[in-house]
Amino acid sequence: MLDDFFLRAIVAGIGVALAAAPLGCFVVWRRMAYFGDATAHAAILGVAIALALDIPVFGAALVVALCMALAVTALAGRGYATDTLLGVMAHSALAIGLVAASFLSGVRIDLMAYLFGDILAVSKGDIALIWGGGALVVALLFWRWQALLTATLNPDLAIAAGLDPRREQLVLTLTLALVVAMAIKVVGVLLIAALLLIPAATARPFARTPETMAALAAGIGVLAALGGLRASWVFDTPAGPSIVCAAAALFLLSVIVSQLRRARVGS
């Protein structure tokens, strides 16, 4: 059934969208956009390490992304502004990864595929990895949803309720690294943060509860994946960037609709 490459791309895109969009809600609520960028950019170093050691790219990217996320969490608030620290570490990790990849002799590497994704080249094994990782992300979020939500909205209230905000931050860090590792093949390290943020930001004006926002974000992410792949097929454009462009178009539409609704209520 999955012998058709375009069908495999659709299944992979839906899997990534369903995992990334609900997690993206926490990225939006916690204002962790730079955090997502730093984690994603570090993954290219994992790609270089995987190719040098001839180990699976997913595992190496996951380990490096997780190490970056943990390092940023540990160093935040120790004399540097968080956005400055994230900017330095994100761009440094990306540059080191690209330089390391250039030293790989005898290894043919398509950096564009890792930077911007190559969803049309996903295999059945990639799909199994994406959906397995996506199921784990959704399960983690479902398991810790209320605790994560409480720690996000009010850390003091979380402590009073017997929760450890640092532990919940660690859960988010783990899930973020997992999404980054599984999304490399689909949209690439430079566009993963967009797939996390844009569906959640698009859903925000229309959601009255956190759960509704997460569900809407997942639906918008799936719609962006399908729309982007369709546009890529029709206009012969890169698939990963086309998916992000479709998400951006949906965001623009949501802004227009929300502004019209406000104008109608105001009048």
**Binned average pLDDT, 10 residues per bin, the chain of 267 residues:** 78 92 89 77 83 83 82 68 74 83 69 81 89 91 90 85 84 86 84 90 92 94 94 90 94 92 76
pLDDT at 227: 95
pLDDT at 77: 58
The first and second tokens of residue 264, run together, are 């109608």
pLDDT at 198: 94
Asked if 69 contacts 173 with a C-beta cutoff of 8 angstroms, the reply is yes
pLDDT tens digits, residue range 208-218?
899 999 999 99
DSSP one-letter code for 190: T
CA distance 24 to 244: 14
| Residues in Cβ contact with 178 at an 8 Å cutoff, skipping those fewer than 6 apart | 62, 133, 136, 137
pLDDT at 155: 83
CA distance 210 to 22: 10
CA distance 153 to 192: 25
CA distance 225 to 239: 9
pTM over 0.85: yes
CA distance 168 to 183: 23
pLDDT at 4: 85
As a three-state string, the secondary structure of 91-121 is HHHHHHHHHHHHCCCCCCCCHHHHHHCCHHH
CA distance 156 to 55: 43
pLDDT tens digits, residue range 185-212?
888 887 888 889 999 999 999 998 999 9
User: Where are the chain's structural domains?
Assistant: 5-266
pLDDT tens digits, residue range 142-187?
898 999 998 888 888 888 888 888 888 888 888 888 888 888 888 8
CA distance 95 to 101: 10
pLDDT at 252: 95
| Closest CA relative to residue 96, chosen from 67, 120, 118 | 67
The first and second tokens of residue 83, run together, are 């956005």
CATH number of 5-266: 1.10.3470.10
The first and second tokens of residue 244, run together, are 């992000």
